[in-house]
């Protein structure tokens, strides 16, 4: 069993990833932590509380950083995920509150209490993860793995021509995490751009699992409309679910070990690229994926939610 903290900026594909984690028998979600990205942090916290409540996930939700490490302004992707992060839906009514610990405090405490047992699945900008590494030097050893949805080696960018959204929203944090020596797995656009789901797939999931599949189908319509508006294809990418699936089914991914650098300046700010092996620690970079197996695992498990 994988004990998992999910750091998230919900976000439509974040909702998909959280529901997949709830459905996966290999995963025990132990906490959610929020981060800005698709929306501002306070809204990400509300959405995380809402999704946890909806999925019957009774775990602490800790609020994360409100600004990137450099303090620069943030630009949520309202056109991709909707004004409140959940498509056309208004901000959800939320029961419950975040815990008093910050995201970084919760991550370092839980990892210290169970060294080597907790996987951190990071589905948004890496600000909280960098903050945890700064807060507790032992965090890099205590955490079993940090599986990051973000970056791209050979697949170009999505938020800018050069950079993937989660990395470009806090490149300094990403650089610190990749160079930290912690066991990092990067699930970037190299693989997530090969994992897609169509409107028909979501309809089928909604038919089998009206509650959870129904919510995802509703949210997916907005996400799919965005992809179509870009003239890409009829469907959406399963970015964030791919990172959770890389935890439950690593055998579906091919990885290479590489040192990964992040561009911090100029128009390519946020671009990730492999660097020559120097003193910088290497991470595992996903380069290949059994796309249809990942997709069918996702649809089967969402369809099993009752
Ligand atoms: C990533 O950016 C966000 O828009 C998604 O939720 C995902 O985490 C994809 O680049
Ligand atoms: Ca996300």
Q: What ipTM is given for this predicted complex?
A: 0.99
Q: Which residues contact ligand 1 via a Cβ below 6 A?
A: 11, 13-14, 37-38, 77, 80, 123-124, 149, 158, 164-166, 239-240
**Which residue's structure tokens are 């910088």?**
280
Cβ–Cβ < 8 Å for 283, 181? no
In the structure, what pLDDT confidence band is assigned to residue 278 with cuts at 50, 70 and 90?
low
**Top mutation candidate among 6, 7, 9, 51 for ligand 1, by most atoms within 8 Å of CB:** 9
Supply the DSSP symbol for 3. E
Structure tokens at 153: 């080696």
How far CA 5 is from CA of 12, 29, 103, 221, 245, in Å, comes to 18, 6, 10, 28, 14
List pLDDT tens digits, range 6-15: 999 999 999 9
Cα gap 243→218, rounded to integer Å? 22
Report pLDDT for 279.
Answer: 64
193: annotated active-site residue: no
For the segment 98-113, the average pLDDT, to the nearest whole number, is 98
Residue labelled with tokens 């090969």: 194
User: Does 280 score more than 80 pLDDT?
Assistant: no
Task: Please identify which residue in the block is written with the tokens 């996702």.
Answer: 298
Look at residue 193 in the predicted model and tell me its pLDDT: 97
Confidence of residue 234 (pLDDT cuts 50, 70, 90): confident
- With a cut of 90, say whether residue 253 has pLDDT above it: yes
**CA 301, 58, 241, 146: dihedral to nearest 10 degrees?**
-130
Q: What is the pLDDT of residues 53-88, one digit of tens each?
A: 999 999 999 999 999 999 999 889 899 999 999 999
Amino acid 251: pLDDT: 98
The C-alpha R_g of the chain, in whole angstroms, comes to 17
User: How deeply is 98 buried, as exposed, middle or buried, from its count of CB atoms within 10 A (0-12, 13-18, 19+)?
Assistant: buried
Cα-based angle 176, 47, 108 (whole degrees, multiple of 5): 35
DSSP assignment letter at 272: E
C-alpha of residue 85 to centroid of ligand 1, in Å: 11
Among positive and negative, which fits the CA dihedral 211, 187, 44, 269? negative
Minimum-distance ligand 1 atom for the alpha carbon of 12: 6
CA atoms within 13 A on the CB side of 34: 29
100-114, 129-143, 265-279, range with the lowest pLDDT: 265-279
Q: What does the DSSP assignment read for 9-69?
A: ---HHHHHHHHHHHH-TTEEEEEEEE-SSSS-HHHHHHHHHHHHHHTT----EEB--SS-T
What confidence tens digit (pLDDT) does each residue in 33-57 have? 999 999 999 999 999 999 999 999 9
The residue contributing the CA closest to ligand 1 atom 10 is 165
pLDDT band at 4 (very low <50, low <70, confident <90, very high): very high
The pLDDT value recorded for residue 276 is 79
Reduced DSSP (H G I as helix, E B as strand, rest coil) percent helix, strand, coil of the chain, to 5: 40, 20, 40
């Amino acid at each position: 069993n994988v004990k998992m903290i999910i750091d998230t900026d919900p976000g439509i594909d974040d909702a998909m990833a959280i529901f997949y984690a709830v459905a996966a028998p290999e995963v025990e979600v132990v906490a959610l932590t929020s981060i800005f990205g698709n929306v501002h942090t306070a809204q990400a916290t509300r959405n995380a509380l809402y999704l946890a409540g909806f999925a019957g996930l009774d775990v602490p939700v800790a609020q994360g950083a409100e600004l990137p490490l450099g303090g620069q302004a943030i630009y949520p992707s309202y056109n991709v995920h909707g004004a409140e992060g959940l498509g056309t839906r208004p901000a959800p009514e939320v029961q419950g509150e975040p815990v008093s610990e910050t995201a970084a405090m919760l991550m370092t405490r839980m990892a210290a209490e169970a060294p080597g047992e907790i996987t951190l699945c990071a589905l948004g900008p890496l600000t909280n993860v960098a903050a945890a590494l700064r807060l507790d030097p032992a965090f890099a050893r205590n955490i079993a793995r940090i599986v990051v949805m973000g970056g791209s080696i050979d697949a170009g960018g999505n938020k800018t021509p050069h950079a993937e959204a989660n990395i470009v929203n806090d490149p300094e944090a990403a650089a610190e995490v990749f160079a930290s020596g912690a066991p990092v797995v990067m699930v970037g656009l190299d693989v997530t751009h090969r994992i897609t789901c169509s409107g028909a797939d979501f309809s089928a999931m909604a038919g089998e699992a009206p509650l959870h599949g129904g919510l995802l189908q509703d949210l997916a319509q907005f996400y799919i409309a965005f992809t179509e508006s870009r003239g890409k294809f009829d469907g959406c990418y399963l970015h964030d679910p791919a990172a959770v699936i890389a935890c439950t089914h690593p055998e579906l991914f091919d990885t290479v070990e590489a040192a990964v650098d992040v561009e911090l300046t100029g128009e390519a700010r946020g671009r990730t690229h492999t660097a020559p092996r120097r003193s910088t620690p290497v991470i595992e970079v996903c380069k290949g994926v059994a796309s249809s197996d990942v997709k069918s695992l996702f649809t089967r498990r969402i369809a099993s939610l009752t």
